[in-house]
Structure 1
Amino acid sequence: MTTTHTPDRESSGRVWLITGASSGFGQALAEVALGAGDTVVAAARRPALLDALAAAHPGRVFPVALDVTDQAQIGAVVAEVLRQHGRIDVLVNNAGRGLVGAVEETTEQELRDLMDLHFFGPAALTRAVLPQMRSQGSGAVVQMSSMGGRFSFAGVGGYSATKFALEGLSEALALEVAPFGIKVLIVEPGSFRTGFAGGGALQQSAALPAYEETVGPVREVLPSSDGKQPGDPAKAAAAILAALEADRTPLRLALGSDAADAILANFETSRQEALDWEPVSRSTDFD
């Protein structure tokens, strides 16, 4: 782990560890945390991208090199953050990327790589910070999921699978750590101007002609939406901070009107299906 400044514990309130901090939601959350008077350990695969942010906030931003798919690196980084700053108050598991492809198109390696990034990495980071959070009797784990972590649609099965897994883990985690004063917040954004869909950031599986009708539109629409998404990352970051500071932090926080609309519509569809099939569900008990 490398840092650009000597720690200044007098200037810090909470200490945040944010992955994927060089752009998008990670960068926006770093700026919100700094605005709240906190200290940010900003993790990225290329920490040099964080030099300008660190220079603008001397003694309060500490860039670190971290690939969240490297389990050994995770342990070393968390240990070094605790050694230098004495605590981690907020962990934000934000590092990620998109993947478009039908289930049949998605290769084993593509799915495993994305699961490492979106599930096993955040799980390892969470495990690494929990002993210290339990010891201090406070803390928060922010899991950056997606509205695609609550429901899925054609072309994003692999991506949604990783977010579904993260949400299932986090739902149990929230119940387990609440007695220790630790909060868990699952964030489910819709379309935001984060660079998620542009600049080659969006990975695409090799296309099969058979799925042109169902997946083809997704392949076209997602990249073309870059820079035109309705969501404002700065407002999202402020909403996340407000949720963390609320007396009753929600387990899940949808962000963006598109996410709110889609999630609520999915609730209604799922509820109606469950009601329609309730007699069958109940018919399978022993007499």
Structure 2
Amino acid sequence: MAPLVWLITGCSSGFGAQLVHSAVARGDKVIETGRNAATKLKHLEGTGAAIVDLDVSLPEADVKRIVDEAVKIYGKIDVLVNNAGYGINDDYRKLFNVNVFGALSVTRAVLPYMRAQQSGTIAFVGSMYAWWAPALLSVYGAAKGALRAIAESLAAEVAPFNIRAIDFEPGFFKTPLTDMAKIAQYAPTAQPVDAYAGHRAAMGGLAQALIGNERGDVKKGVELMVDVIRGEGSASGRKIPQRLPIGEDAVRVVEGTCKNALKVIDVWRDDVVGTTDRDGFEGEKDYEAIVKGPDAQV
């Protein structure tokens, strides 16, 4: 396989930094990006990857301008990984602006190049929280759920151009996102609502038990992602799926959510199937393909 050119957002630490190392180790070329790149990406200077300062929360026109300049480095982009994101933050608009709208801005900037070359892969680093958002994590879960929906629709939209889209949905991995110092740094600053003191105590206890005992190894998780994108290792010969949970805990969450959804349907089927049809409805016709279940692409 000829070397691929990657553009990766949010490379300062965690999955982003490891993606740089793993892609370069496979012989690929990498454009690593992040805010305040001169300082926050300095530790990656020895990788051989190109470094570009990119804050994905900038206005879309600015993001496009920066991406256009980044493309000139190697002349193309084969793989885009939308990894930049915020975790817990009381500024829910900022969280969405980075996790969702930022990913859309970068994707929209890269797509014209991929369409022109009739190839490419767009990956999103989502989360199992797209399937299960516990108390106090509604906005974060909503943002990751948005990425899941975007990836699914995008995959259908770009398939005619030989472009693929996938949302990786990791479980718990040991990254700065679960570092207590980081959590404290980005903890909500608003006055807490007394009514939710019980929720805060319960979630705080769970966080304390989790920190340092995360199941996932970032390097192993990223190597799997790179295998999927490159079609190597365990992914050799397999069609890339639209969504892929990463880690046993993520698999349990997805399985549990789907099983619970099917149980609800079984209990309510007689009440929700057919009882709300419009009088005179003659059945699904041309749009039947839209309302059927999506292609699993396995």
TM-score normalised according to structure 1 size? 0.87
Q: Is the 8 A contact 1:66 1:73 kept in 2?
A: no
Q: Which residue of 2 aligns with 1:286?
A: 278
Could you tell me how far 1:218 is from its partner in structure 2?
1.6
Count residues in correspondence.
265
Partners of 2:80 and 2:31 lie apart in 1 by 10
- Please report how far the alpha carbon of residue 221 of structure 1 lies from its aligned counterpart in structure 2 after TM superposition: 2.6
Partner of 2:212: 227
Alignment partner of 1:218 is 2:207: no
Sequence identity of aligned pairs in percent? 34
Secondary structure of 2:84's counterpart equals coil
Residue of structure 2 in register with 1:34 after alignment: 24
Q: Deviations over 1:84-112 (max 9, x none)?
A: 21001111111112127xxxxx5xxx111
Report the Cα distance in structure 1 between the residues aligned to 2:200 and 2:136, rounded to whole angstroms. 5
Whole-Å Cα distance in 2 between the matches of residues 53 and 199 of structure 1? 24
Question: In structure 1, how many angstroms separate the alpha carbons of the residues matched to 2:142 and 2:213?
Answer: 26
**What is the alpha-carbon distance in structure 2 between the residues aligned to residue 227 and residue 167 of structure 1?**
28
- Provide Cα deviations, 1:120-171, integer angstroms capped at 9, x if missing partner: 0000110100010011111111101100012222110011111111221221
Once residues 50 and 108 of structure 2 are traced to their aligned partners in structure 1, the CA distance between those partners, rounded to angstroms, is: 22
How far the C-alpha of 1:187 sits from its partner, in A, is 0.8
- Work out whether residues 52 and 70 of structure 2, in 8 Å CA contact, stay in contact via their aligned partners in 1: no
Q: Which amino acid aligns with 2:45?
A: A
Post-superposition CA distance 1:239-273 (Å, at most 9, x none):
10111133401111111111111111111011111
- 2:57 aligned to 69, 75, 83, which one? 69
2:98 corresponding residue in structure 1: 117
Q: Indicate the RMSD between aligned Cα atoms, in angstroms.
A: 1.7
CA distance in 1, matches of 2:181, 2:257: 30
In 1, Cα distance between equivalents of 2:126 and 2:180: 21
Residues 160-208 of structure 1: CA deviation (Å, up to 9, x unaligned)? 1111112212211010001111111101111101110225433333422
Task: Indicate whether 1:54 and 2:45 are aligned.
Answer: yes
- State the partner residue of 1:92: 81
Task: Give the letter aligned to residue 42 of structure 2.
Answer: D
Q: Aligned residue for 1:139?
A: 120
Cα distance, 1:224 vs structure 2: 5.4
* Residue identity in the other structure for 2:195: A
Report the counterpart of residue 8 of structure 1 in structure 2. Answer: none
Counterpart residue number, 2:157: 176
- Tell me the SS of whatever aligns to 1:16: strand
| Structure-2 separation of matches of 1:286 and 1:50 | 58
SS in structure 2 at match of 1:219 = helix
Question: What stretches of structure 1 of length at least 5 have no aligned partner?
Answer: 1-11, 101-105
Q: Report which stretch shifted further, 277-286 or 172-181.
A: 277-286
Q: Distance in 2 between matches of 1:227 and 1:74?
A: 36
Q: Which SS does the other structure have where 1:188 is aligned?
A: strand
Distance in 2 of aligned mates of 1:35 and 1:278:
52
Aligned to 1:41, the other structure's residue is in SS state: strand
CA distance in 1, matches of 2:56, 2:181: 20
Tell me the distance in 1 between the aligned counterparts of 2:49 and 2:242: 28
Which residue does the alignment assign to 1:259?
A: 250
**Aligned residue number for residue 224 of structure 2:** 239
Q: Which runs of 4+ in 1 moved over 4 A?
A: none
Secondary structure of 1:83's aligned partner: helix
Structure 2: how far apart are the matches of 1:65 and 1:118? 17
Question: Judging changes above 3 Å, is the alpha-carbon distance between structure 1 residues 165 and 231 closer, same or farther for their aligned structure 2 residues?
Answer: same
Inter-partner Cα distance in structure 2 for 1:224 and 1:16: 36
Deviates more, 1:242-251 or 1:45-54: 45-54
The answer as to whether partners of 1:97 and 1:201 remain within 8 angstroms in 2 is: no
- Taking CA–CA contacts closer than 8 Å with sequence separation of 6 or more, which of the two structures ends up with the larger relative contact order? 1
Q: Which amino acid in structure 1 is aligned with residue 29 of structure 2?
A: T
